[in-house]
Structure 1
Amino acid sequence: MRLLSREIKLCSVLVFLFLFSLKVLAQPPAHDPSKIMRDGDRYWTFKTELGIGAISASNNDFSDWQSEPSVFGDTWPSWINTYVPDFAGHFWAPACIFLNGKYYLYYSCSTMGSHVSAIGLATSPSLNNPDWTDQGMVVYSDGNNTATVSNAIDPAIFKDDDGKAWMTYGSWFGGISIVELDTLTGKTVGEKTTLVGGNHQDIEASFLLKHDDYYYLFVNRGLCCRGVESTYYIQVGRASSVTGPYDGWRTFLQTNGRYIGPGHIGYNEGRLTYHVYDRDDDGTAKMMNTTLDWSDGWPVAVEVTQDPPGELLPDGTYRIQSFDSTKIVGVANNSPYEGANVEILDFSDDNINGTSWVINNVNLHQYQIAPKNYINLGLDVYNCVGDDDANIGLWSYWGGQCQKWIFVDMGNKNYQIRSALSNKPIQVNGTFESGTNIVQMSNNSNDTTQLFTLVLLELEDTTYNQYPQVVSYSSQQSGNPASNIIDGNNSDGYRWSAENFPQYVVIDYGDTLSISGTKIWTYQNRAYQYTVEFDTDIDFSDPYIVDRRTNTSAGQPITDNFEPVAARYARLTVTGAYDYTGPWVSITEFEIIEEEIVGADELTLNDNTKIYPNPVVDVLNIQLPAELSSGADLAIYNMMGQLVFRKTGLKGNIELMNLSNLKKGIYSLIITNNKTFVTKRFVKY
């Protein structure tokens, strides 16, 4: 696990006890927990902490856990000072395995955001009565060739059926590497192989296991160690060989409700462990402990009871009516400005725009709610807090969790509207007099002031009005949000700023586009150095990369042109600057150049391509124009940009697609040939 720039490893002891569900049990404090190890009748896990933290219990669910002395105490082996000169004693993400009658404990040494790192090894004949002997350095990284050399942290150890032992490791920078280990010395044997990542992609915290005929590689994506602002999620790919290639990548665990940023999994002694950040406990990191099952050849975390995922709604314009009265949710005084209050009101023609809400899916089961005709604003929890009685108002939409909403059907299509930040529903604050505030409050399923009815006014593809959107970023300065780089204003007063390098922003364009260039305007005409990645998948698993890491040009805009690439997502990562020595990343505007369609007119093609019924329950009918009726390819993507259906070589002007196996949701359908493409959006019920 690594942090971009000034992100800091969580290195202090976090003291807590919590209950996750009947199957995911009360756990000890642990960040980056190792897989569980057993010594006789006791179970152990190691964690990120000063001196390497340790915890033991009498059972593998750790219900009676106790803290144990750290491995190194307040000192550390002297060799570390040579390889990591600024090391201060906080060891990260340890990994343990039992070989040759001894416990081999691998540990990470580094400093914040650095590629100057090392993995070391200590051994002990026992965990219950430890006698640790340090064995020195295993691998290191020295800050050179950072895009191709794996950062020497986050080790994970795997023993194969043939007796060979392997170590995977790495974080951002040069990706995840694998290397064979000598099972006697615990040191490396042979050459390292890169499995995934590199070029500073957000991939780290690997873990390897085998099931039947496949090897499964788990990795973390996103950002850790930011409490409730963490964007960590876990993906898994598989291969028939331990050294890859790994493919079929899919999300294994992700944020849901109060439990933020699952990361750093381990599996041993029949238990799956990982950490999360608990939104209801000030973002405290907690170790989860459950079991693992398999479905269609892929791993599944068993009985991880999480908050209700929420209802999937078609994008459209709605009226939100209080269950307890005839009044509706609206904007005070029909005022389209930041900070405007949201209240319950009597409906009238005078406030029709202020009481009509555009509801737009932005991420899985999460939605933006914006007043009609003011869709640059969003329903917002005041100050982005999780407190009861926090006021609900409007603010410029920047994509934060306090501006995303989950609709939970409480029966008969009466909804709680819950903040994605706090998982608390909105409610009418007291009486039902016109002008009464809307606030967030702790969930009470018996409180009807938390229930609202949705009246669909217009089913439409509102998402085209909402894109492009900033869907994630590494950091932003208060007053200079990341969303400013796509606001159409390239003046210095409207910029994205973030302190320290590198920093990134991910932009979603709503549909796959044909992109042939980029334009970037910078604050005070600085010659920033950066990369831009384009991909159809938000995971950026196979991106086209514009590489400006050696840029010396300050000409505005900084422009690149290239052969057209198909992409829905762009990730701008600013790595440094040529003519500026300060700490600030400041970009005023980012713009893509779209390729003109060659051949048939795009609008005509879109008009002549019909899909019905929409919404669809099982079979979707697609009527194709002549230009696409022979040899075209069809692909369907979910709202996360993940490919869920593909058909090649379309024939004839009518295609019937059985989509009964698709989950409920909103999807993009893309039909392409070698000259043009058509995009459509549909709702699956």
Structure 2
Amino acid sequence: MFFKFMACICLAFFVDCASAIDLSGLQNAHDPGTITKDEDTYFNFTTGTGIWYSTSKDLTSWTGGPGPVFSTYPAWIKNKIPNFGGSFWAPDVIHMNGYYYIYYSVSSFGSSVSAIGVARSASLKNPGWTDLGIVVESYGGSAEINAIDPAVFRDHNGKIYLSYGSFFGGIGVAEINQSTGKLASGVTHILGGGGSDMEAPYITRNGDYYYLFVNRGKCCQGVNSTYYIEVSRSTSVTGPYTDTRIALPNVDGKYKGPGHIGVLKDNGCNYVSTHYYDLNDGGNAKLDLLKMTYSGGWPNLTRNFSVASCGGVSDGLYRFTARHSGKDLTIDTNATTINGNPVYLAEQYTYSGTKNQQWYVINQGTGYYSMINANSLQSLDVYGNAATAGASIAQWPYWGGNGQKWNFTGSAGFYLIESNLSGLPLDVLNLSTANGARVIQWNPTGAANQQWSMVRLK
């Protein structure tokens, strides 16, 4: 009774109780991963035999996929989990290194003999999955971080982090090597442990704060589930995460036992996916979709919204094409070295599909975006942190300065790309249409050499 009372109090602060958006079609889901987009289609991967998924064109109407990720299980699973029954738990997907990587867990209920594996495919719409093996594993110890419930996200600096864990040793986080899909660093324990009822982590970032969502209580009990979701925050991805609050209570109308948050950044909006047990349908597990905004440094969730643009662009991989020349924003592949740091100048060049012409755009939640080059994983940067017209544009290791934060303004399919440092837009020098022409920042002129189309690739 105490928990239900507290949940209702917290509900008033964190969740809008108005009528929910209506989802239609095939809604069944349990431990859904982050909703991921490939071209014009959204994908929702979820726990199931072989890794089950559904697709949507509009986030509201869902259709089952034609088949699971795995028709034949990776061979290593039998050695790790001899009695594996075929249900892959809590998959999560992210695009990097020219592929979609899907992280999944294999285990048995109540055991910490577990592993997180990864597979990749160049496309979700036309998949061809290749399994890459184990990312991290646990061996049955009572204090180990249980290798289940993987969640991946891209930070403002372009780095990818994996969080995971469950009962036993709590929650851990590690950086991912984007060339291999495996760990790039050791695992840092960030929360929980001692057998506490904490699992299904998800980290997202807004402004200066990282937010760690975790499930508390017990899942997989239908109408008797005691799951609820807490959120803590930190100024570092590795914690400490403090000031914990309830984000979603155990019950809200028909929504019982919410589980496994993921955050899709789409058209400037933050959409949160979870599962819930439907009290109006015998406790069947279904997909839930909420919209998240931030107030006073904390997330607020609502089911009362319509799917529409929030006045921004979607996180994803893009090419940028100058209107006057039809040539793309490119990082020069001829390296120079200044003070021991690699500097590649920005130029325009005929698009060839190489990764030095592709950019990850990351919404920082402040009105500004990171632009991370897909080839180097370095940031688009006003060289020398200069606020003056004519300053060179280059790439530089991300350090979070205003010269690495960008705003997109425009209409009719073309944008000014403006520096937070100077307020000046990207400009192709002297209106040149030649390959190799430099890109600088310059006073706004309204000319076509300052206008860029954005085409989302993934």
CA drift of 1:93 comes to 0.3
CA drift of 1:180 comes to 1.1
Which structure is higher in RCO with an 8 Å CA cutoff and minimum separation 6? Answer: 2
Residue 291 of structure 2 corresponds to residue 296 of structure 1: no
Q: Return the letter of the residue paired with 1:68.
A: P
- Residues 557-587 of structure 1: CA distance to partner in whole angstroms, max 9, x if unpaired? xxxxxxxxxxxxxxxxxxxxxxxxxxxxxxx
Q: Secondary structure at the match of 1:299?
A: strand
Structure 2 residues not aligned, in runs of 5+: 1-17, 306-458
Q: Is the 8 A contact 1:124 1:131 kept in 2?
A: yes
Q: Secondary structure at the match of 1:82?
A: helix
Residue 197 of structure 2 corresponds to residue 198 of structure 1: no
CA drift of 1:22 comes to 4.8
Alignment of 1:565-644 (within 5 A): none
Q: Which residue of 2 aligns with 1:338?
A: none
Taking the aligned partners of 1:259 and 1:227, their CA distance within structure 2 comes to: 11
Taking the aligned partners of 1:237 and 1:281, their CA distance within structure 2 comes to: 32
Q: Which residue of 2 aligns with 1:283?
A: 283
Taking the aligned partners of 2:62 and 2:230, their CA distance within structure 1 comes to: 31
| Counterpart pick for 1:93 among 90, 93, 97 | 90
Q: Secondary structure at the match of 2:280?
A: helix
Taking the aligned partners of 2:140 and 2:304, their CA distance within structure 1 comes to: 39
Q: Which residue of 1 aligns with 2:135?
A: 138
Q: Is the 8 A contact 2:54 2:62 kept in 1?
A: no
Q: Is the 8 A contact 2:20 2:304 kept in 1?
A: no
| Counterpart pick for 1:79 among 39, 54, 76 | 76
CA drift of 1:190 comes to 2.1
Q: Return the letter of the residue paired with 1:292.
A: M
Q: Which residue of 1 aligns with 2:369?
A: none
Q: Which residue of 2 aligns with 1:30?
A: 29
Taking the aligned partners of 1:217 and 1:47, their CA distance within structure 2 comes to: 20
| Counterpart pick for 2:65 among 53, 64, 67 | 67
Residues 300 and 150 (structure 1 numbering): CA distance in 2 closer, same or farther, change over 3 Å?
same
CA drift of 1:33 comes to 0.8
Q: Which residue of 1 aligns with 2:39?
A: 40
Q: Secondary structure at the match of 2:187?
A: strand
| Counterpart pick for 1:122 among 119, 124, 134 | 119
Taking the aligned partners of 1:110 and 1:62, their CA distance within structure 2 comes to: 31
Q: Secondary structure at the match of 1:280?
A: coil
Q: Which residue of 2 aligns with 1:262?
A: 258
CA drift of 1:189 comes to 1.8
- Residues 63-93 of structure 1: CA distance to partner in whole angstroms, max 9, x if unpaired? 14333310002x3001111222221211000
Q: Which residue of 2 aligns with 1:252?
A: 247
Taking the aligned partners of 1:154 and 1:167, their CA distance within structure 2 comes to: 10
Taking the aligned partners of 1:67 and 1:131, their CA distance within structure 2 comes to: 14
- Residues 648-676 of structure 1: CA distance to partner in whole angstroms, max 9, x if unpaired? xxxxxxxxxxxxxxxxxxxxxxxxxxxxx
Q: Secondary structure at the match of 2:240?
A: coil
| Counterpart pick for 2:214 among 210, 219, 238 | 219
- The TM-score normalised by the length of structure 1 is 0.40
Q: Return the letter of the residue paired with 1:176.
A: I
Q: Return the letter of the residue paired with 1:286.
A: K
- The TM-score normalised by the length of structure 2 is 0.60
CA drift of 1:24 comes to 4.8
Percent identical residues: 48
Residue 181 of structure 2 corresponds to residue 168 of structure 1: no
Q: Secondary structure at the match of 1:150?
A: coil
Taking the aligned partners of 2:22 and 2:202, their CA distance within structure 1 comes to: 20
- Residues 400-436 of structure 1: CA distance to partner in whole angstroms, max 9, x if unpaired? xxxxxxxxxxxxxxxxxxxxxxxxxxxxxxxxxxxxx
- How many pairs are equivalent? 282
Taking the aligned partners of 2:253 and 2:33, their CA distance within structure 1 comes to: 25
Q: Is the 8 A contact 1:91 1:108 kept in 2?
A: yes
Alignment of 1:226-245 (within 5 A): 226-245=221-240
Taking the aligned partners of 2:291 and 2:150, their CA distance within structure 1 comes to: 22
Q: Which residue of 2 aligns with 1:434?
A: none
Q: Is the 8 A contact 2:28 2:284 kept in 1?
A: no
Q: Secondary structure at the match of 1:54?
A: strand
| Counterpart pick for 1:184 among 170, 179, 187 | 179
Q: Which residue of 2 aligns with 1:498?
A: none
- Residues 36-58 of structure 1: CA distance to partner in whole angstroms, max 9, x if unpaired? 11111111010000000011111
- Residues 9-55 of structure 1: CA distance to partner in whole angstroms, max 9, x if unpaired? xxxxxxxxxxx945253362111111111111111010000000011
Q: Is the 8 A contact 2:22 2:60 kept in 1?
A: no
Taking the aligned partners of 1:157 and 1:103, their CA distance within structure 2 comes to: 12
Alignment of 1:236-635 (within 5 A): 236-254=231-249, 255-268=251-264, 269=266, 270-304=270-304
Taking the aligned partners of 1:115 and 1:37, their CA distance within structure 2 comes to: 29
Q: Return the letter of the residue paired with 1:298.
A: W
Taking the aligned partners of 1:22 and 1:86, their CA distance within structure 2 comes to: 40
Taking the aligned partners of 1:83 and 1:239, their CA distance within structure 2 comes to: 35
Q: Which residue of 2 aligns with 1:157?
A: 152
- Residues 273-306 of structure 1: CA distance to partner in whole angstroms, max 9, x if unpaired? 101101121111111112111111101112359x
Taking the aligned partners of 1:108 and 1:190, their CA distance within structure 2 comes to: 19
CA drift of 1:155 comes to 0.2
In terms of mean alpha carbon deviation, does 117-126 or 263-272 score higher? 263-272
Q: Return the letter of the residue paired with 2:130.
A: T
Q: Return the letter of the residue paired with 2:67.
A: P
Residues 188 and 64 (structure 1 numbering): CA distance in 2 closer, same or farther, change over 3 Å?
closer
Residues 196 and 24 (structure 1 numbering): CA distance in 2 closer, same or farther, change over 3 Å?
farther
Structure 1 residues not aligned, in runs of 5+: 1-19, 306-685
Q: Secondary structure at the match of 1:85?
A: coil
Q: Return the letter of the residue paired with 2:135.
A: V
Q: Return the letter of the residue paired with 1:137.
A: I
Residues 29 and 67 (structure 1 numbering): CA distance in 2 closer, same or farther, change over 3 Å?
farther
Taking the aligned partners of 2:24 and 2:202, their CA distance within structure 1 comes to: 23
Residues 50 and 303 (structure 1 numbering): CA distance in 2 closer, same or farther, change over 3 Å?
closer
